[in-house]
Structure 1
Amino acid sequence: MIGIAIRACFGKPAFEIMQQGQTPAGMKNEAFPEKTMIFGLFRKKNNNQAIVDRQYAALTAAARMPEIYERLNVPDTVMGRFEMLSIAMILFFRRTRASATSGQEIAQEIVDAFFQDIDYSIRELGIGDNSVPKRMKKLAGMFYGRLEAYSKAMDTGDAEALAVALQRNIYPETSAPADMTGLAGWMMAAESHLSAVPEEVITTGSVTLPAVA
């Protein structure tokens, strides 16, 4: 199921999103230093696979909620959907950083699955093996740059700074970007919702994100 989830979310090969990011490749993730390196982590524990599949599908579904694109000024484009799937995973990642080892393992496997899908999509497009690591490093920089920027704002409860970071990433080439305060508010509400999720829900891969109010 994971193998097709990201392509279902984006509607076209996931590799295309890599051409539009603004975060420099190789950006160090200060908020989650233990998560900075992903390469070489594309491995699964067999007993976690069904849990990871279920949770990854739930995060993908959250990233595709129509209300996000209709009411929160997120463009319904390949890049817009990438941004929302990244946000869904970042929210989950932030919740599980305080989890027991099992919850943290599931979170890392979900992020690994995301990058593995990207890796697969690159190779499907016929990109040479020598170019794949460079492309993956660029995408990793994009994702972890967003993780760091959003976490910095959310850790201090600064919705305004979060909205600015969202504008910068979602509308990188627009002189008058759309208002992202609604999306920032939803992210803050989602974090509050996730903080109340018990550990047994994490370990069964049953976490959901709240609807848009």
Structure 2
Amino acid sequence: MLWPFNHFRKPRIAPAGTIEAIYGMIVTQTREPLFYRDLGVPDTVNGRFDLLLLHLWLVLRRLKSVGAGTALSQALFDHFCTDMDDNLREMGVGDQSVPKRMRAFGEAFYGRTAAYEMALTEGTEALAGAICKNILNGEKIESARALAAYAEGALARLAELDETTLLAGNWSFPVPDAVRAQ
């Protein structure tokens, strides 16, 4: 009799395409020119990375609020880490330097998400302050307020999604300009 060895494989959380689609939406949203042109996000590697972290936090926060979302949120975070590792190697960072850079990415992620979580409990102005510090280099508080309003709008949109739609990746982020205009 043959024994199935499925228990040695990683469990399938969601189709890889779903994780890639959600991560793709996050990356696409962070490339939206309005963030850089109208909302003051520095159009630099660091500015783009910090905006990516903000969007990743928004999605992970919502995914963790649904039962089946915890595993998907871990898979999404793992995909982010793989993407960062691949990008470093593509940019020519040596094999011995990659772990150090990845550790720095992890510290940045956990530090910023902790700041956003704490600020969210304190209100829009606190969130704007955290965004100002982490994304806008401590400058442009008005832009930070607009980004905080955008983040709150994105959180509200994500909160409206039913679990099936959320987990399938059948949704989109709000348009930054539309949130700012409110």
* TM-score, normalised by the number of residues in structure 2: 0.82
Preserved contact between residue 13 and residue 71 of structure 2 (Cα < 8 Å):
no
Pairing 1:195–2:159 present: yes
Between 202-211 and 190-199, report the one with greater CA deviation. 202-211
Pairing 1:65–2:40 present: no
SS of the residue aligned with 1:164?
helix
**Runs of at least 5 residues in structure 1 that lack an aligned partner in the other structure:** 1-42
**Runs of at least 5 residues in structure 2 that lack an aligned partner in the other structure:** 1-9
**What code does the residue aligned with 1:109 have?**
A
Tell which structure's C-alpha radius of gyration is larger.
2
Would you tell me which structure has more helix in proportion to its own residues?
2
**What code does the residue aligned with 2:152 have?**
M
Q: 1:78 to 1:187 in 2, by over 3 A?
A: same
Pairing 1:122–2:84 present: no
**RMSD, matched Cα:** 1.9
Provide the rounded CA distance (Å) in 2 between the counterparts of 1:122 and 1:77.
Answer: 15
Pairing 1:143–2:101 present: no
* TM-score, normalised by the number of residues in structure 1: 0.71
Partner of 2:140: 178
**What code does the residue aligned with 1:185 have?**
A
Mapping for residues 1-213 of structure 1, pairs under 5 Å: 45=12, 47-101=14-68, 103-124=69-90, 125-129=92-96, 131-156=97-122, 158-172=123-137, 177-179=139-141, 180-212=144-176, 213=178
Provide the rounded CA distance (Å) in 1 between the counterparts of 2:152 and 2:76.
Answer: 22
Report the alpha carbon displacement of residue 57 of structure 1 after superposing the two structures with TM: 1.0
Moved over 3 A (4+): 43-47
Provide the rounded CA distance (Å) in 2 between the counterparts of 1:114 and 1:189.
Answer: 23
Report the alpha carbon displacement of residue 47 of structure 1 after superposing the two structures with TM: 4.9
Aligned length: 165
Q: 1:139 to 1:53 in 2, by over 3 A?
A: same
Provide the rounded CA distance (Å) in 2 between the counterparts of 1:74 and 1:47.
Answer: 33
SS of the residue aligned with 2:104?
helix
Report the alpha carbon displacement of residue 55 of structure 1 after superposing the two structures with TM: 1.0
Preserved contact between residue 44 and residue 109 of structure 1 (Cα < 8 Å):
no
Partner deviation per Cα, 1:104-135 (whole Å, 9 max, x = no partner): 22222111111112222333424133x33222
**What code does the residue aligned with 2:100 have?**
K
